[in-house]
Chain A
C-alpha cells in the first residue's frame, strides 16, 4: 500500500466527513428530530447539497473554490451551534451507545457485518486503484465532471451538442449531479484527480448499507433481529455490484449511486405511511429528486414518489380539519415544488440547449412492429439475458418471492414497496417500447444495469413480508410501529 493510496483514501474520508457535517447542518436547519436513519443518510444528503451548491454558483457566476464552497456551512454552523449539540462529550456518548448496540448483536449478525465491512473496504480500495478506463466514465460521467470543472459551471462545450452523433455518444442530456459530486472533490483538492471520481462512491456504499441496517433492525425487531444483518449483507455483497464497485466494467457509472438513492427515498417513503406531511415525506422527495438529476431513470422514480406522496396527502387532507386544508395544501405544493426544482432547472437547460429526447411515441410506429409484437420481443430479450446470467436468477426469484409475499400479506408497507418496484420496472419496459435503438442492442447493453438499479429496493421488497409481521407484532404490543 503506497503513501499516495493512503492520501487519496484519507482525502475521500475527509470529504465524506464534510458531506456528513453538511447533511447534519441541513437537518438542524430544518429542525428535524434526527434519528439513526437520518445520521446514516447524512453523507449522501450533504454531498448532493454541496454538488447543488456548485451548480447554483455556476448559474450565478460565483467562482468555484474551496473557501467559497465551505464558508456558507461554517457560518451556518456558527448560527446553529445551539441546535447542533456538538461536543466531545456528546460524541463520546454517541460512540458508547453505538458500541453498546453493536455488542448486543448476535454472533451471526456480527459475522455478517464484519464480512460485509471487509467487502466494502475491498470495494473502496479497488475504486481508488482501478484505472479510469471504460467508455461511459471517460466519455460521459468523468468527461462532464472535467468540463464542468474547467468551465466552473454546468456547461458542456457546444461542439458536442451540435452534432447528433456526438451528442448521443457523450449523452449530454444525462443529468449533472454525479459529475457535480465529483467536482466537489476536485474543488476541495484544487485540481482533477480521476481516482476521486470513482472512490467517492464509497459514500454510497457506507451510507446505503448503514441506512439499510438501521432501518431493518428497527423495523424487524424484536422478531428477526439477525435477519437485518442478512438483508444488509445482501445489499453489500450481491455480485451484481461487482462490475460497478470492484471491477472496471461499470466502475464510476451512475447506476450504483442511483440504486442507493432509490433505496433511501423508499425507506423514507415507507416511514411516511400514515403521516404524509412530515420530514419523512420531504426526505423521500429529496432523495428521489437527487435521483432525477443523477440519471434519466431517476425521473420516472421521482414521478412515482410524487404520485404516491400525492395520494397519501389527498387521503390525509380528506380526513383532516377543513380549516387546515388550505394552508396544508399550499405548504405541500410549495415544499414539493422547491424540492423538485433541480429537475425543472435541468429540464429548462436541456430545452435551451436543444437536447432532444430520443424516446418518442413515434419510434414505436417507425419500428414497424405492433405493440404486442414489440412487447413480446422486449420480454424475449430480457428473458434471454436473465436466463443466461445466473446472478440475475436470484434477483428474478427475489422479485417473484417478494411479490407473492406482498400480495399474500397485503400490508401497506409491502404493497407500497411493490408499487414502487413494479412501476419503476414498467417504465423501463416502456422506454424499450419507445426506444429509437435496435431492441436487441438496447436491451442487452442496458438490462443488467437497469435491474441492478432496482436491486436494493428489490431486497427491501423481499424483506417486506417480515417487516409486516414484525410491525404488526410491535403494533399489538407497543402501539404503532415506527423505525428509528
Chain B
C-alpha cells in the first residue's frame, strides 16, 4: 500500500509540475508585467482609473450571455443592474421594452444587442464567445474594442463607445 501511495503521489506531482509549469512559462501573462496594474485594470475598466463604478450584469447560466455593463453616469450606490435575470421593473426606464429572464438565458445575441443599443452603455465588458460578438458586428462599429484576455472558447473584450 505504501508503494502505491508513494508512486501515485510522485506521478501526480510530476503531472502537476508539467501542467502548471507549462502555464507559468507561457509568455502571455509575463507580457503583462511590463504594464502597470493600473493600466491593466484600466483596460479592464478599473473604476478608479476611469471614474466609473462598474456594475456587473451577467447571466451565470450561460457564459455566452455574460455581459458586464458600466454606467459612467451613475455611481455604484445609485446604479441598478439592467440585464441580469432581469427584473423588468429596472429595465423599463432604461429600455423601451422589458427584457425578460428568458431572453437573457436563451438568446445571448439579443441580450448583447439590447445592451449595445442602450443609451447608457458607454463601456461594456463582454465575456463570452466570439461568435456572439460577431452577430452584433453592425452595432459594434460604434464601439472601440480592446481584447483583454482569451481562454479556451471565451474572450474578454472591452467595448467602449466611440465619442
Q: A residues near B, CB below 8 A?
A: 1-5, 8, 112, 115, 118-119, 122, 125-126, 128-135, 138-139, 143, 146, 150, 157, 159, 163, 165-166, 168-169, 191-195, 224, 227, 230-231, 233-234, 237-239, 242, 246-249, 391, 394, 397-398, 401-402, 404-405, 408-409, 441, 445, 462-463, 465-466, 469
User: Do B81 and A405 touch (CB < 8 A)?
Assistant: no
Selected from B21, B24, B101, B156, the residue in CB contact (under 8 A) with A133 is B156
Q: Does A397 lie within 8 Å of B8, measured CB to CB?
A: yes
Contact present for B8 and A398 (CB under 8 Å): yes
Point out the residues of chain A lying under 8 angstroms from B149, CB to CB. Answer: 130-131, 133, 248
Indicate if the CB atoms of B29 and A129 lie closer than 8 Å: yes
- Report the minimal beta-carbon distance from A238 to chain B, rounded to whole angstroms: 5
Contact A231 B125 (CB under 8 A): no
Asked if B38 lies at the interface with its beta carbon under 8 angstroms from chain A, I say yes
Q: Mark B70-99, 1 if CB is under 8 A from A, else 0.
A: 000000110011001111000000000000
Q: Quick one: which of B17, B24, B46 contacts A132, CB cutoff 8 A?
A: B46
Complex CA gap A60/B1 in Å reads: 56
For A408, the chain B residues whose CB sits under 8 A away are 1
Q: Are A133 and B148 in contact (CB-based, < 8 A)?
A: yes
Complex: chain B residue closest to A5, CB-CB: B37
Closest to A408 in B: B1
Going nearest first, the 7 A-B pairs with the smallest beta carbon separation are A131-B44, A138-B56, A135-B58, A237-B16, A2-B36, A4-B36, A139-B56
Known: A150-B77, A194-B46, A246-B29. A132 touches B6 (CB 8 A): no
Known: A4-B37, A234-B16, A242-B20. 15 other contacts (CB 8 A): A129-B35, A133-B148, A133-B149, A138-B68, A143-B56, A150-B76, A169-B81, A230-B9, A237-B16, A239-B20, A397-B12, A409-B1, A465-B1, A465-B2, A465-B5
Contact A4 B38 (CB under 8 A): yes
The answer to whether the Cβ of B136 comes within 8 Å of any Cβ in the partner chain is no
Tell me which of A3, A8, A242 contacts B23 (CB under 8 A).
Answer: A242
Chain B residues within 8 Å of A, Cβ to Cβ:
1-2, 4-6, 8-10, 12-13, 15-17, 19-21, 23-24, 29, 32-38, 40-41, 43-48, 54, 56, 58, 60-61, 66, 68, 76-77, 80-81, 84-87, 101, 125, 127, 148-149, 151, 156
Can you list 6 A-B contacts with CB-CB less than 8 angstroms, sorted by A residue number?
A: A118-B24, A130-B32, A150-B76, A157-B77, A441-B61, A466-B6
| Bound-state Cα–Cα, A21 to B105, Å | 49
Q: How far is the CA of A469 from the CA of B2 in the complex (A)?
A: 9
Determine the residue in chain B with the shortest Cβ distance to A169.
Answer: B84
CB atoms of B17 and A237 under 8 A apart: yes
Q: Which of B4, B40, B44, B125 contacts A401 (CB 8 A)?
A: B4
Q: How many A-B residue pairs have CB under 8 A?
A: 169
Closest to B6 in A: A227
The answer to whether A195 touches B41, judged by C-beta atoms less than 8 angstroms apart, is: yes
How far apart sit A408 and B4, CA to CA, in the bound complex (Å)? 12
Which one of B15, B16, B35, B86 has the greatest number of beta carbons of chain A within 10 Å? B16
Select B15's contact among A128, A227, A249, A394, beta carbons within 8 Å: A394
Q: Within the complex, what minimum Cβ distance (angstroms) separates A121 from chain B?
A: 9
Q: Kindly list chain B residues whose C-beta atoms are within 8 Å of the C-beta of A139.
A: 56, 58
Q: Shortest beta-carbon distance, A110 to chain B, in Å?
A: 15
Would A227 and B9 be within 8 Å (CB), given that A138-B54, A165-B101, A441-B61 are in contact?
yes
B80 partner residues in chain A, CB cutoff 8 A: 159
Min C-beta distance of A6 to chain B, whole Å: 10
B8 surroundings in chain A (CB, below 8 A):
397-398, 401, 462
Measured in the bound complex, the distance between the Cα atoms of B161 and A294 in whole Å is: 38
Q: A129-B33, A246-B29 are in contact. Are A405 and B66 (CB under 8 A)?
A: no
Distance between Cα atoms of A166 and B58 in the complex (Å): 11
Kindly provide the distance from the CB of A235 to the nearest chain B CB, expressed in whole angstroms: 10
**Are B41 and A131 interface neighbours, CB within 8 A?**
yes
The answer to whether residues A165 and B2 also contact, given A195-B41, A462-B9 and a CB cut-off of 8 A, is no
B33 touches A1 (CB 8 A): yes
Determine the distance from Cα of A198 to Cα of B18 in the docked complex, in whole angstroms. Answer: 25
Q: Which residues of B contact A146 (CB under 8 A)?
A: 76
Contact B13 A466 (CB under 8 A): no
Query: Nearest residue in A to B62 (C-beta to C-beta)?
Result: A441
Chain B residues with CB under 8 A of A112:
13
Q: Which residues of B contact A463 (CB under 8 A)?
A: 5, 9
Q: Select from chain B the residue with minimum beta-carbon distance to A143.
A: B56
CB atoms of A115 and B44 under 8 A apart: no
User: Is the beta-carbon distance between B1 and A194 smaller than 8 angstroms?
Assistant: no
* Residues of chain A with a CB closer than 8 A to B29's CB: 122, 125-126, 129-130, 246
A2 touches B34 (CB 8 A): yes
Q: Is the CB of A394 within 8 A of B12?
A: yes
CA distance A16 to B24 in the complex (A): 24
Closest beta carbon of chain B to A212's beta carbon, Å? 13
Q: Is the CB of B48 within 8 A of A192?
A: yes
- Taking a contact as CB atoms under 8 Å apart, the answer to whether A131 and B43 are in contact is yes
**Residue from the list A233, A247, A445 in contact with B13, Cβ < 8 A:** A233
Residues of A contacting B125 with CB < 8 Å?
133
Q: Are A2 and B35 in contact (CB under 8 A)?
A: yes
Which residue of chain A is the closest to B58 with respect to CB atoms? Answer: A135
Query: How far is B5's CA from A227's CA once the two chains are assembled, in angstroms?
Result: 11
* Separation of A5 and B33 alpha carbons in the complex (Å): 8
Contact B40 A131 (CB under 8 A): yes
Give chain B nearest CB distance to A255 CB in angstroms.
15
User: How far in angstroms is the closest Cβ of chain B from A343?
Assistant: 26
Once the chains are docked, how many angstroms separate the CA of A126 from the CA of B32?
9
Contact assessment for B156 and A248 in the assembled complex, using a CB-CB cutoff below 8 Å: yes
Nearest chain A residue, comparing its CB with the CB of B12? A394
Q: A133-B125, A195-B37 are in contact. Are A238 and B16 (CB under 8 A)?
A: yes
* CB nearest to B101 among chain A residues: A165
Contact partner of B37 (CB less than 8 A), chosen from A8, A230, A391, is A8
Bound Cα distance from A219 to B104, whole angstroms? 54
